[in-house]
Amino acid sequence: MRKIWEFFKGTLVLVAKGSKAYYVWVFTLLCFMGIGFLAYLYQLQHGLIVTGMRDQVSWGFYISNFTFLVGVAAAAVLLVIPAYVYHWKPLKEVAVLGEMLAVSAMVMCLLFVTVDIGRPDRFWHLIPKIGILNFPQSLLAWDVVVLNVYLVLNLTIAVYILYNLYHKREPNKSFTTPLLLFSIPAAVSIHTVTAFLYNGLSARPFWNASILAPRFLASAFCSGPAFMIILFQIIRKYTRIEIRNEAIFKVAELIAYSMFINLFLLGAEVFKEFYSNTVHLAPLQYLLEGLKGHNDLVPYIWTAMIFNVSAFFLFLIPQTRENFVTLNIGCVLIFIGVYIEKGMGLVIPGLVPDTLGEIFEYSPTGIEILLTMGIWATGLFVYTLLLRVAVPILTGEFFVGEDGMKAVIVDTEFIRRADHLAEQSYRD
Interface residue list for other proteins (CB under 8 A):
41-42, 44-49, 51, 53-56, 58-59, 113, 116-123, 125-126, 131-134, 137-141, 144, 197-198, 200-204, 279, 282, 350-351, 353-358
Q: Looking at beta carbons only, is 198 or 312 nearer to other proteins?
A: 198
CB of 204 to other proteins, least distance (A): 7
Q: Looking at beta carbons only, is 131 or 318 nearer to other proteins?
A: 131
CA angle 335, 341, 347 (to 5 degrees): 130
CB of 287 to other proteins, least distance (A): 16
Q: Contact, 76 vs 84, CB < 8 A?
A: no
Sorted by sequence, the CB contacts under 8 Å of residue 376 that are 6+ apart come out as 32, 65, 108
Q: Contact, 211 vs 185, CB < 8 A?
A: no
Q: Looking at beta carbons only, is 123 or 274 nearer to other proteins?
A: 123
Q: Determine how many CB atoms are found less than 10 A away from the CB of residue 280.
A: 15
Q: Contact, 161 vs 171, CB < 8 A?
A: yes
CB of 104 to other proteins, least distance (A): 23
* Beta-bridge mates of residue 400: 407
Phi-psi region of 253 (alpha: psi -120 to 50; beta: other; left: phi over 0): alpha
CB of 359 to other proteins, least distance (A): 10
Q: Looking at beta carbons only, is 59 or 257 nearer to other proteins?
A: 59
CB of 330 to other proteins, least distance (A): 34
CB of 101 to other proteins, least distance (A): 26
Q: Looking at beta carbons only, is 110 or 159 nearer to other proteins?
A: 110
* Beta-bridge mates of residue 11: none
Task: State which H helix or E strand residue 409 sits in.
Answer: strand 407-409
Cα–chain center distance at 126 = 24
Which segments of 47-138 does DSSP mark as H helices, in order?
61-78, 80-85, 91-116
Using the 8-state DSSP alphabet, how is residue 412 labeled? Answer: -
Q: Looking at beta carbons only, is 110 or 230 nearer to other proteins?
A: 110
Q: Looking at beta carbons only, is 23 or 360 nearer to other proteins?
A: 360
Q: Looking at beta carbons only, is 197 or 389 nearer to other proteins?
A: 197
Q: Looking at beta carbons only, is 107 or 133 nearer to other proteins?
A: 133
**CA 168, CA 154: separation in Å to the nearest integer?**
21
CB of 262 to other proteins, least distance (A): 24
CB of 119 to other proteins, least distance (A): 5
Of 127, 70, 81, 142, the closest CA to residue 104 belongs to 70
* Beta-bridge mates of residue 359: none
CB of 304 to other proteins, least distance (A): 23
Sorted by sequence, the CB contacts under 8 Å of residue 31 that are 6+ apart come out as 377
CB of 210 to other proteins, least distance (A): 16
**Max Cα-Cα span within the chain:** 74
Of 60, 103, 111, 116, the closest CA to residue 376 belongs to 111
Q: Determine how many CB atoms are found less than 10 A away from the CB of residue 383.
A: 21
Q: Looking at beta carbons only, is 208 or 328 nearer to other proteins?
A: 208
Burial class (CB in 10 A: 0-12, 13-18, 19+), 171: middle
**CA 229, CA 247: separation in Å to the nearest integer?**
9
Q: Looking at beta carbons only, is 64 or 239 nearer to other proteins?
A: 64
CB of 351 to other proteins, least distance (A): 7
Using the 8-state DSSP alphabet, how is residue 59 labeled? Answer: -
